[in-house]
Chains A and B, each alone.
Chain A
């Protein structure tokens, strides 16, 4: 069966420090991968998506970047964190078959607090 892992689960970082959040998927190949941010326990904002290794699409201009070094690995990074980067970050995947009709499967999330 397919599983998705995100780490770390919780992170407290000072302003100006770097960030690396990692997401890996098991039990599938060629997934579409997504990073969402949820602020204040409400709506989800799509940050990045990837349809293959090295292929990253950015949805909003921001202080963050994403990379996909391997088929089932998706990394969210920042060189210098801002206070506004605080939030709950969710990684998700969906299978290629049936395209947009596929269900998104989410990781448990990474809560980032920037002080």
Chain B
């Protein structure tokens, strides 16, 4: 069965510092990997995705993520954090089967301090 793990409940970082939010996955077959962000009392918004090709994917708001097949990881990164980046971040995986379901990790709350 496919699964997604986000090992950190919370990540704290100072504004201007680089940030990393970790994600590992377990699937059979080639995964489609996503990052979404959620602000309080809102739906999720798409940040970026990996389908195939270059392992470094660039997305919205200066975020990027690196796909590592050998480590089955897809960590989210940003070179310089902003206070406005504070939110709940979800890693997700989809397959081309069974209604193309998307399975989400438990989420990591990012706090960026001014």
Question: Could you tell me which A residues sit within 8 Å of B by CB distance?
Answer: 32, 34, 36, 41-44, 46, 49-51, 57, 59, 88, 90, 92, 94, 99-109, 111
Contacts and interface: CB of A to CB of B under 8 A. Distances in A.
A109 B96 contact: no
B107 A43 contact: yes
B57 interface: no
Nearest to A107: B43
Interface stretch (B18-26, B61-69, B77-85, B97-105): B97-105
A105 B46 contact: yes
Which of A94, A99, A102, A103 is most buried by chain B, counting CB atoms within 10 A of its CB? A103
A90 B41 CA distance: 11
A94 B107 CA distance: 21
A103 B49 contact: yes
Q: How large is the interface on B (under 10, 10 to 19, 20 to 34, 35 or more residues)?
A: 20 to 34
A102 B104 contact: no
22 contacts: A34-B102, A44-B44, A46-B101, A46-B102, A50-B99, A51-B99, A59-B101, A90-B43, A90-B44, A100-B97, A100-B100, A101-B32, A101-B49, A103-B34, A103-B49, A104-B36, A104-B46, A106-B44, A106-B45, A108-B42, A108-B43, A109-B41
Contact of A42 (B42, B98, B106): B106
B74 interface: no
Interface of B: 32, 34, 36, 41-46, 49, 51, 88, 90, 92, 94-107
Contacts of A51: 99
Nearest to B29: A100
A34 B104 CA distance: 13
Contacts of A43: 90, 104-107
Given A32-B99, A43-B106, 11 more contacts: A43-B90, A44-B44, A46-B101, A49-B101, A57-B99, A99-B100, A100-B97, A101-B51, A104-B92, A104-B102, A106-B44
A101 B94 contact: yes
